[in-house]
Structure 1
């Protein structure tokens, strides 16, 4: 299928004293976009497990230009890569207004069993859903720990 695009509103309260969206709020905006894919879209298709337990193991963001409230909503294009038995990476490209790209990012996601208090493996349905969002060209830099 390819990339998934979510539109996330930028709030006035997301801006800092310098007039642009600060790092912590950018992480939240990306989280809201990711929830559209992993919770809403997956739930629409009958997959509830991703919303029941998913943790971010690592996040990396590269900023290309400031995000400002006046640019309007953030359009976040997401794809999946490195789909493994118990983890996957979500790649993001965020656009605001007419900017080519304000940020690129990636998160290492791990399915989590809240009841057992430990990571779990993806089931076949979750894996098939995530495979739909794999694209040929994604971020090529690996996450560094």
Structure 2
């Protein structure tokens, strides 16, 4: 199917003293885009479990240019790779007028009640596989 695209609004409060969106806010903006896919889109398709337990195992971000508030929004393209039984990696490319950053998160399904990681269900794997791309990942 290709990458999922989310549009995330920038807020004036996202800026730091240097006039660009700071690191912590950038991570939050990527989280909003991820939630749009894993929670909103998944729920729209009848998958409730992803919103009930999914944690970040690792996050890596590479900045390519400053993200400034004047852009007003950030377009985030998300794809899935390394889809395994109990984890997967999400790749992000975030654009304002140009690519401002690329990132990846290792995601782990989590059973909140049991307090431990869990395996992906077959419907979750099917949903995630829709967002896999056949291109090389953005990271070397």
State the shift of 1:139 in Å.
2.3
TM-score by length of 2: 0.98
Structure 1: distance between partners of 2:94 and 2:41: 19
CA contact (8 A) 1:90 1:108 kept: yes
State the shift of 1:72 in Å.
1.7
Runs of 4+ in 1 over 4 A off after TM superposition: none
Structure 1: distance between partners of 2:29 and 2:54: 17
CA contact (8 A) 1:5 1:75 kept: yes
Give the gaps of 5 or more residues in structure 1. Answer: none
Aligned pairs for 1:23-34 (under 5 A) are 23-34=23-34
Structure 1: distance between partners of 2:57 and 2:82: 14
State the shift of 1:141 in Å.
3.0
Change (3 A) 1:117 1:41: same
Q: Secondary structure at the match of 1:55?
A: strand
Aligned pairs, number: 140
Give the gaps of 5 or more residues in structure 2. Answer: none
Structure 2: distance between partners of 1:141 and 1:2: 18
What is the CA RMSD across the aligned residues, in angstroms? 0.9
TM-score by length of 1: 0.94
CA contact (8 A) 2:102 2:138 kept: no
